[in-house]
Structure 1
Amino acid sequence: MGAKEVESTGITPVQQIIVSSSGALLTSLFVTPLDVVKIRLQAQNKPLYKENVLRSKPGNCFVYCNGLMDHLCFCDNGNSKVWYKAPSRFQGTLDAFIQIIRKEGIKSLWSGLPPTLVMAVPATVVYFTSYDRLRDFLMYKLENYANVAPLLAGAIARLGAVTLISPLELIRTKMQSRQLSYSELHQCIHNAVAKNGWLSLWRGWGPTVLRDVPFSAMYWYNYEQGKKWLCKRSGTAETTFAINFTSGAVSGSIAAIVTLPFDVVKTRRQIELGELEALNKVTTKKSSSTWIMMNRIIVENGFTGLFTGLMPRLIKVAPACAIMISTYEFGKSFFYKLNAEQLKPVKLVP
């Protein structure tokens, strides 16, 4: 490993991939049980889409999000092979944890972890690696406005990651909703591209960008500013694990609150389209724009309807952001010190 390879950021791209992948794995392991329980509680309360509108076999569609990725959970007659196994009656969150562990084993709390990692790991690697490189580049170019660099780098990195992963997310959703074989999936994608063009593979890109890009811009700006403030308050020159963890949790919470209306719109659209996909319903009606759907939510539920699910979102996003960023920063610090030791000149003893 040469000096030039680690000169700008202190670690190599391969090392960045290792630490970002480790962060995605740990975040998924810690946060997945929260959403598994949430889906079980949702399923026993009420369906999220009216069965009398679908006029077909009963089934619920839920959105699973562990702080890294969103997934649609399809439950036909109260069952799903991946996310949800059997209907039960729970008295609350703690009761749900206890019953699931007793009846199905502790591993059931991590149902759906493999498909999460298949999508989350590459998306996280692209996102975090791009952010670090872009931030350093923009701080060099915008020397007089260095504080803006994290905001711009976070927005651009998230835009790139969403654009790159969007077709894979669409493919995964189709496989999950219809239980397609690979040959059927290939034919489905071929027909969609032939009919609607290649851009059809990026369906749903707009609402995702409206939610994730502002989230990332605010998150990284507040995170970098929070780190500086906490270091100054504690009188330390270097950030610690506790400082990174706290900054990640607070900045993630702020960004989650501000972007919640876009998350509500995206969740409602995912659920409605997911139900139609699961039941093989074909509709020629175009989906409403984000702004039209926001207006509809306000008319139906008032302005507070745009902030539905605030506490569950914070309960997931805050620890997810804290675990991910603190793990990532710890890994970078480890490799930085390792590389510095290897680059030290060797003293020859006469």
Structure 2
Amino acid sequence: MSHSNEDAATNGTMQQKRNIQIIEWEDLDKRKFYSFGVFITLSIRATVYPATLIRTRLQVQKGKSLYGGTFDAFIKILRAEGVRGLYRGFMLNTFTIISGQAYITTYELVRKYVSNYSDDNTVKSLVAGGAASLVAQSITVPIDVVSQQLMMQGQGEHLSRFRLPSKSETGKPKIVFGQTRSIVTQIFSADGLPGFYRGAVASLLTYIPNSAVWWPFYHFYAEQLSNLAPSNCPHIVLQAMAGPLAAATASTVTNPMDVVRARVQVEGRTSIIDTFRQLIRDEGAWGMTKGLSARIISSTPTAIVMVVGYETLKKVSLRPELVDSRHW
């Protein structure tokens, strides 16, 4: 073999190793995947929940009536309600772990199905991400409706339609699941069963595009970073950088609908269009950016933890016979 051919072969090998290798559904040991997945999903949710709570309160408040911004909200909640205040509704929210498992399963299965018709990674990611969000939101919306009402209690309780009884009213200290039961009862009394699906359309219009945008941008940023980084740079580092970039992009694109979704669910509104119009009328175009900084701030650690956790989960769940054939 000539020197030029040897160089070409070497460069080809290096380029192959530089590319971000995607572990597909058929490559996984499913038992490991689901066992480790529950723990990782729960860890991610516990890490980012305070930012989610802050984002919700910022989006629902009128103007800056209570909080001046993300940091101001964090300090005020911490001072007035303590660390527990940052985790209002968290116990109930952990049930969304079911939707988390449904999400990743749907994503991987749809991605595998679409690969029968297209080899384009962007197409596979776009379709699979949207489908996964559709399935997950059908499970998540009722939990979100209740947990968001719990988030608004305490310092932000005047922003909610429903109120928890105080200790003086009941004579007993408030219990976590007692709070949940109280909110569930109030929602059912006021709106019936449809009350638990209030804002479902707004949620779908928020999270399906968010998910559909996130995955293609994630793979795009990862590949671009792999072209810029040294050949010996670990792929997990590039993926951890690509995750927040994709999350910031998706958050910016979908934030206007996320503001509308939060108000529909918390304030009990019935019309997405009327909520949007009132938001523009009262607060102008800037109203569409409410909670965006909190969303991006929360999405950064979320994306890093999620990407590192998810990619690590897939690696440790890789079928044993495939381990040696992969370059990380």
Q: What is the TM-score with the length of structure 1 in the denominator?
A: 0.63
For residue 208 of structure 1, what is the aligned residue in structure 2?
203
Paired AA for residue 164 in structure 1: I
Residues 1:48 and 2:72 are matched in the alignment: no
In the alignment, structure 1 residue 160 sits paired with structure 2 residue 135: yes
| Structure 2 partner of 1:76 | none
Give the partner amino acid of 1:228: E
**More helix by proportion, 1 or 2?**
2
Q: Which moved more, 1:109-118 or 1:221-230?
A: 109-118
Percent same amino acid at aligned positions? Answer: 19
Structure 2: give runs of 5+ residues left out of the alignment.
Answer: 1-22, 152-161, 165-177
The 1:330–1:7 alpha-carbon spacing in structure 2 relative to 1, beyond 3 Å, is: closer
**Equivalent runs, 1:256-271 vs 2, <5 Å:** 256-271=251-266
How far apart in 2 are the matches of 1:108 and 1:270? 20
- Name whichever of 180-189 and 110-119 sits farther off: 180-189
Structure 2 length normalisation: TM-score? Answer: 0.67
Query: Alpha-carbon deviations, 1:300-344, whole Å to 9, x = none?
Result: 2222221122212211122212211221111111221656469xx
Give the corresponding residue for 2:245: 250
**Residues 1:24 and 2:37 are matched in the alignment:** no
Which residue matches 2:123?
148
Alpha carbon RMSD of aligned pairs, Å? 4.3
State the SS of the aligned residue for 1:32: helix
- Gap regions ≥5 residues in structure 1: 1-5, 51-59, 63-90, 274-286, 343-350
Equivalence for 2:20: none
Contact 2:41 2:100 (8 Å CA) reproduced: yes
Is the contact between residue 151 and residue 221 of structure 1 (CA under 8 Å) also seen in structure 2? yes
What SS class does the counterpart of residue 47 from structure 2 fall into? helix
CA apart distance, 1:235: 5.1
How many residues are treated as equivalent by the alignment? 274
For the residue of structure 1 that corresponds to 2:318, the secondary structure is helix
- Distance in 2 between residues matched to 1:269 and 1:61, nearest whole Å: 19
> Aligned partners of 1:171, 1:127: CA distance in 2, in Å?
20
CA deviation string 1:99-128 (max 9, x = no partner):
57xx95x66654543222122x11111111
AA paired with 1:317?
A: S
The Cα offsets for residues 224-250 of structure 1, whole Å up to 9 and x where unpaired, read as 111222222225499622222111111
| 8 A contact 1:227–1:239 mirrored in 2 | no
Partner of 2:26: helix, strand, or coil? coil
Q: Quote the Cα distance in structure 2 between the aligned partners of 1:295 and 1:175.
A: 27
CA distance in 2, matches of 1:297, 1:186: 29
1:307–1:175 CA distance, 2 compared to 1 (3 A): closer
Change in 2 beyond 3 A, CA 1:227/1:206: same
Q: Does the Cα contact within 8 Å between 1:32 and 1:113 map onto a contact in 2?
A: yes
Counterparts of 1:181 and 1:247 in 2: how far apart (Å)? 37
Cα distance per residue 1:116-146 (max 9 Å; x no partner): 2122x11111111211221122123213x44
Residue matched to 2:174: none
- The AA in structure 2 aligned to 1:16 is F
One-letter amino acid of the counterpart of residue 138, structure 2: T
Deviation sequence 1:269-319 (CA, Å, 0-9, x none): 22312xxxxxxxxxxxxx453233222222222222211222122111222
- Taking a change above 3 Å as real, the CA distance of residues 181 and 304 of structure 1, as seen in their structure-2 partners, is closer
Counterpart residue type for residue 147 of structure 1: T
